[in-house]
């Protein structure tokens, strides 16, 4: 059915954008990378990439799980998540609000399905940071982070020193105490258990500093456990603590873009066949999929609440969900015509979203690097314009930042390295985010792709990664899930 839907697009009539040549705009700054940008929406042509060129130029399957399933047909990646295990004291909330984590503090833990997340990973393309589905390219954008998690996506880049120079005195100054040096000679991470034991309860008569210490500790729990977890599931990196020194300044950072940078990084890493775990905000990943592909949810009567990610924690149901082969089949056969392009425009959902979130919409579609210390990942809103109610032309070649894409802390030279200086060219581009938006043309005639885009996507994309293979679901063929 999905194939018939996509094929039918070739015979539909659309109002096409102006057929003028793409307008190049070159930014040559001695501090910024030299690159050429195109007016993506003024022309249906594909600059620097002809329709008859090698389709393998865009996507590389050499080390992607989607092309290596014959080696492990039921590979599951286990999502990382750590619940703080306690709710913050009400006296801490004003400081969390000022720091920009007031909404995130109310995120509820819902069960993550390794089967669903693994099926999404199979659709993820590291080259473009998009999922390839029968309907076209789609992705998790800055808009999704803002409305799902209630985090700001319009602020300063989250960066600083890769390693805190004097961690012991930093902890003493910002947390009021020092973790025991029981495992590491150099303090680089803090255990969640230590944070909980020392800051879950305020003293009987707390001072203002006691409350601020507890606020910083709770934010670290959110960062390392829910918003940006990595493979060290029981610890959080100390590099974030200095950014929490001045709570007012903390609220000026774009924590939402840092969350998305981490998730993009983990999705790219998880596409490697040997990967068994995935970090990043998998609560966001799973919720994004269920809002836009509701046919993946085993129950659909959960009430909508704020933040939107909490919908799946209000009524049990996602835990009684499907297996990996079932998710594969549903995405392959239903996401062509059943993908919800603009779920947040529905009246009962839009009514929940605060105005301060929608006021950030200027950057939702920006083409910018997302920065989170050593992580630099590209956010390309021009590839998924239908998610913003705009016509989707054939996109330009993806931006290549391979010198930093996938870089880990070790590769970035984390020892006392000022990552703000190392990544200055990308920070400059991030600071230009309000002007780095493609021209937008409103959709006319529904969300179906133009014939030009459909032809390009069939030639260069991965709308059907199975094409009948591995779609036969055998009874008891799949190993038990992690959960």
pLDDT for position 296: 92
- What is the helix (H) or strand (E) element at residue 115, kind and residue range? helix 114-123
Cα–Cα distance, 80 to 232 (Å, whole number): 9
Residue keyed to tokens 């999905």: 2
Cα–Cα distance, 205 to 361 (Å, whole number): 43
Digitized pLDDT (tens) for each residue of the chain, 483 residues in all: 433 333 333 222 222 333 333 322 222 333 333 333 333 333 333 333 333 334 445 677 778 888 877 667 788 999 999 988 888 899 999 999 999 999 999 999 988 999 999 999 999 999 999 999 999 999 999 999 999 999 999 999 999 999 998 999 999 999 999 998 755 557 899 999 999 999 999 999 999 999 999 999 999 999 999 999 987 768 999 999 999 999 999 999 999 999 999 999 999 999 999 999 999 999 999 999 999 999 998 777 788 999 999 999 876 666 567 899 999 999 999 988 899 999 999 999 999 999 999 999 999 999 999 999 999 999 999 999 999 999 999 999 888 776 666 565 555 554 448 999 999 999 999 999 999 999 999 998 899 999 999 999 999 998 988 764 544 444 444 444 433
pLDDT for position 465: 83
Which residues fall within 8 angstroms of residue 168, CB to CB, at 6 or more apart? 178, 187
Which residues fall within 8 angstroms of residue 447, CB to CB, at 6 or more apart? 341, 386
CA torsion through residues 130, 469, 453, 23, sign: positive
Partners of 161 in the β-ladder: 418
- If one counts every other C-beta atom within 10 angstroms of the C-beta of residue 11, the result is 7
Domain extent listing, the chain: 2-460
Strand, coil or helix: 161: strand
What DSSP character marks residue 371? E
CA torsion through residues 307, 311, 314, 316, sign: negative
Which residues fall within 8 angstroms of residue 319, CB to CB, at 6 or more apart? 111, 113, 483
Task: Answer whether 279's CB lies under 8 Å from 262's CB.
Answer: yes
Cα–Cα distance, 440 to 343 (Å, whole number): 19
What DSSP character marks residue 118? H
Cα–Cα distance, 273 to 262 (Å, whole number): 20
Cα–Cα distance, 305 to 36 (Å, whole number): 42
Task: Answer whether 236's CB lies under 8 Å from 377's CB.
Answer: no
Query: What are the backbone dihedrals phi and psi of residue 253, each rounded to the nearest 5 degrees, phi first?
Result: -85, 155
C-alpha distances (whole Å) from 118 to each of 51, 137, 208, 265, 294 are 32, 18, 45, 15, 17
Cα–Cα distance, 281 to 266 (Å, whole number): 9
pLDDT for position 297: 87
Nearest partner of 361 among 147, 190, 181, 216, judged by Cα = 147
Cα angle value 278/284/289 (rounded, 5°): 95
The tokens for 207 are: 């001072």
The tokens for 137 are: 């390219």
pTM of the model: 0.85
pLDDT for position 406: 57
């Amino acid at each position: 059915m999905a194939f018939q839907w996509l094929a039918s697009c070739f015979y539909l009539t659309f109002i096409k954008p102006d057929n003028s040549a793409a307008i190049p705009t070159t930014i040559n700054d001695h501090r910024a990378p030299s690159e050429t940008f195109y007016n993506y929406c003024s022309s249906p042509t594909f600059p620097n990439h002809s329709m008859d060129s090698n389709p393998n130029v865009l996507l590389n399957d050499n080390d992607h799980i989607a092309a290596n399933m014959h080696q492990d047909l039921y590979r599951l990646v286990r999502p990382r998540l750590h619940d703080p295990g306690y709710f913050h004291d009400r006296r801490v909330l004003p400081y969390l609000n000022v720091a920009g984590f007031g909404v995130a503090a109310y995120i509820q833990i819902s069960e993550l399905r390794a089967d669903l997340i693994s099926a999404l990973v199979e659709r993820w393309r590291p080259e473009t940071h998009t999922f390839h589905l029968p309907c076209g390219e789609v992705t998790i954008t800055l808009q999704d982070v803002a409305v799902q998690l209630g985090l700001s996506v319009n602020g300063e880049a989250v960066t600083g020193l890769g390693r805190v120079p004097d961690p012991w005195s930093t902890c003493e100054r910002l947390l009021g105490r020092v973790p025991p040096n029981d495992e590491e000679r150099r303090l680089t991470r803090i255990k969640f258990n230590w944070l909980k034991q020392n800051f879950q309860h305020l003293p009987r008569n707390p001072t203002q500093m006691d409350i601020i210490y507890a606020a910083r500790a709770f934010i670290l729990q959110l960062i390392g456990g829910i918003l940006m977890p990595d493979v060290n599931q029981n610890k959080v990196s100390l590099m974030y603590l200095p950014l929490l020194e001045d709570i007012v300044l903390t609220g000026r950072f774009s924590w939402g873009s840092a969350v998305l940078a981490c998730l993009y990084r983990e999705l790219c890493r998880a596409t490697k066949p040997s990967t068994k775990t995935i970090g990043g905000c998998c609560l966001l990943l799973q919720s994004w999929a269920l809002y836009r592909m509701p046919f993946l949810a085993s129950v659909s009567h959960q009430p909508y609440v704020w933040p939107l990610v909490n919908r799946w924690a209000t009524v049990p149901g996602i835990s009684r969900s499907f297996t990996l082969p079932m998710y594969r089949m549903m995405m392959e056969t239903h996401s062509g015509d059943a993908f919800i392009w603009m779920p947040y425009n529905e009246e009962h959902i839009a009514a929940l979203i605060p105005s301060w979130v929608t006021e950030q919409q200027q950057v939702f579609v920006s083409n910018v690097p997302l920065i989170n210390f050593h992580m630099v990942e590209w956010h390309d809103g021009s590839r998924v314009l239908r998610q913003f109610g705009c016509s989707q032309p054939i996109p330009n070649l993806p931006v290549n930042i391979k010198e930093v894409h996938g870089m880990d802390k070790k590769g970035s030279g984390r020892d006392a390295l000022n990552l703000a200086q190392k990544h200055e060219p990308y920070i400059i581009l991030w600071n230009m985010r309000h002007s780095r938006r493609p021209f937008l043309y409103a959709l006319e005639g529904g969300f179906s792709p133009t014939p030009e885009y459909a032809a390009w996507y069939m030639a260069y994309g991965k709308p059907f990664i199975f094409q009948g293979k591995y779609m036969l679901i055998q009874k008891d063929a799949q190993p038990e899930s992690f959960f």
